[in-house]
Chains A and B, each alone.
Chain A
Amino acid sequence: MESFNLFASLASAIVLEAAPFLLLGSFVGALFEVLVPDSFIERMIPKTVPGQLGFGLFAGMVLPTCECGVVPVVRKLLARGVPPATAITYLFAAPVINPVVLLSTYFAFQSDLTMVFWRCVLVGIPALVLGGVLGKGTAADILNLPKPVLRQMDDIRNENHGHDHGHECGCAACGETHDESSRIRAVLVHTGIEFLSMSKFLIFGACAAALFKTFTPSSVLDLMQGNNFISVGSMMLFAVLSSVCSEADAFVAAGFSMLPKAAMLSFVAIGPMVDLKLIPMFLSTFKRRVALALIVVPVVTIFYLCVLLAYLEGGV
């Protein structure tokens, strides 16, 4: 019973701490869905590849999207002619390099700006690499179906979807037909649906973290603390399995403060890029070799970068 009390307290603490940030992220995402038309984004995209990469990297600052909703948004952007260099970079950067996630990371790691900085770097590198490599192709080379078919499918989907936001809704969580006359109400409803949908991943991740902290023998912890390969690798595996939302994952990671900072960084870097809810989305949205690249490149890059960080004296 004592162990269950501890487990319940730890899991509740993590969820209650992260919930305001998840709500804020859902709210910002809802504002984007309801008020910002896709055409506005398309007009802003630069013509050069480096410019497109940079735009994709920092688009999340003004158009924050949770990783749970970013794949359908990217798919739609690609189908509408947004360059892959921008769309693929945005796919990985937007869930992390945005004000909400940066703020939650800052708070979770006790105002440690170096953790915020390294999180951006660790996400930015594979995002730029993949954006640069895949950006040479066209949307038809990347997406699972030819562009005309996709457009046709989008048209059919939108007819069924029935959004009346003045533009299409790209969020993954939304399966609703909205007929709210009030945009404020539409934002509220969208926020609630997004929050509800995402909270299950947060709760699952928090419970997994609490189970770990409650039942892990200290000998396992000593092993993880003493070996950078194991600590980084196991935290990355935990991030993929727990699928915690990027707006809340820093709080879960901060609970592992007994591990090297590089291991905590590997958790918050890989989680928004590859997890159990993203992998099926990648495989269904992109061509198989592209989907595999989207999974393998971030995993390998972040693993070695974090191991390197752990070994560098004063690296983090």
Chain B
Amino acid sequence: MIMDRLHTILEGLTTALLGAFMYAFSISDSYWMLLSPKFQPLTATAGFLLFVTGAAMTTRKPPRNVRRWGALCAMLAFLALACWAVLGPESAFAPDPPKKHTPMSLELPEPGEGFEPRLTLNDKEYVRISTPELFALIEGTNKEYPREIAMRGMVARSPDLDKRGMIAVFRVNVFCCLADAVAPGFLVSVDDPDKYPQGSWVRVAGEVVESAESHANGEISLPGMLMSFVSLNHEIRGHDVRIIDPPDMPFTFEVRDKEPFAY
């Protein structure tokens, strides 16, 4: 009888604990590391309701000899795993995460709000665009894409690319959660690849050109990303490629098909 009562309370507490974790996670500034910010209100609401549900479960009359040890152990193990993912290591796909995160918001900057959709260098205008947006325009929608672009991303290198005077620049795009993240990228021609260490962040201002020959699929990928790929038929001729600090938000969550791009 006492064991039944203890088990009932444990079930309720575990459920409530998961609810509390979900709520705390939803209002933390680590949320974007696992989920798209568009799910934030959903996670917060579910966390709150789960907490209330767990509290109600603790007060029910204990059933006789009905114990869900498997479910309890699975949930406790998941909580440990989730704490590890959120609090322990750095985000798996952002090897150099920023020290400060911007508050999560779906409101992307618009022109005139401190964000200029174009970058001017040496009297030449470059359209600010994110790597996934450019990739989607070129490979996906077949829409008109800007030829002079400025984009940011992480560097990946290989001995073969080094010989050709190129680096690969990737940016992770998260649709819903980290599990469905993809990292599209472009090969960028540079003066000296050794200036750009593997994993560093760069801002590329350059020209989109058709490749002389198609790049091999799987030629280069972003370490740790199963789904990373470079454009097979287009590359960037780098005009100004410089190392930058990682952006406040290393991932992108929105893919726009016209200016102003999410950048």
Q: Which residues of A contact B (CB under 8 A)?
A: 1-2, 5-6, 8-17, 19-20, 23-24, 27, 107-108, 110, 175-180, 185, 188-189, 191-193, 195-197, 199-200, 203-204, 209-210, 213-214, 216, 218, 221-222, 251-252, 254-255, 257-258
B60 lies within 8 A of chain A by Cβ: yes
Contact across chains for B60 and A222 when beta carbons are under 8 A apart: no
Contact across chains for A9 and B85 when beta carbons are under 8 A apart: yes
In the assembled complex, which residues on chain A have CB atoms less than 8 Å from the CB atom of B88? Answer: 5, 8
Q: Which residue of A lies closest to B61 (CB)?
A: A179
Given contacts A177-B64, A192-B12, A197-B71, 8 further A-B contacts (CB under 8 A): A9-B92, A12-B34, A23-B49, A185-B60, A192-B54, A196-B75, A203-B74, A210-B179
In the assembled complex, which residues on chain B have CB atoms less than 8 Å from the CB atom of A204? Answer: 74
Task: Identify which of B35, B59, B92 contacts A16 (C-beta below 8 A).
Answer: B35
Complex CA gap A188/B46 in Å reads 13
Contact across chains for A257 and B182 when beta carbons are under 8 A apart: yes
Contact across chains for B176 and A107 when beta carbons are under 8 A apart: yes
Q: Is the interface of A mostly helix, strand, loop or mixed?
A: helix
Complex CA gap A199/B25 in Å reads 18
**Interface pick from B129-137, B148-156, B219-227:** B219-227
Contact across chains for B52 and A188 when beta carbons are under 8 A apart: yes
Q: Which residues of B contact A (CB under 8 A)?
A: 11-12, 14-15, 18, 22, 25, 33-35, 39, 42-43, 45-46, 49-50, 52-54, 56-57, 59-61, 63-64, 66, 68, 70-72, 74-75, 77-78, 81-82, 84-86, 88-93, 175-180, 182, 218, 221, 224, 226-227
Complex CA gap A57/B93 in Å reads 43
A-B contact count (CB 8 A): 168
Most buried by B among A19, A24, A177, A257: A19
Most buried by A among B39, B49, B52, B81: B81
Instruction: Knowing A9-B34, A16-B43, A188-B56 are in contact, say whether A203-B63 is a contact too (CB < 8 A).
Output: no
Q: Which residue of A lies closest to B74 (CB)?
A: A200
7 CB contacts below 8 A, A to B, read A11-B81, A11-B85, A12-B81, A14-B177, A16-B22, A189-B56, A200-B74
Instruction: Knowing A9-B85, A255-B180 are in contact, say whether A110-B25 is a contact too (CB < 8 A).
Output: no
Complex CA gap A248/B84 in Å reads 22
Complex CA gap A12/B80 in Å reads 10
Complex CA gap A192/B176 in Å reads 25
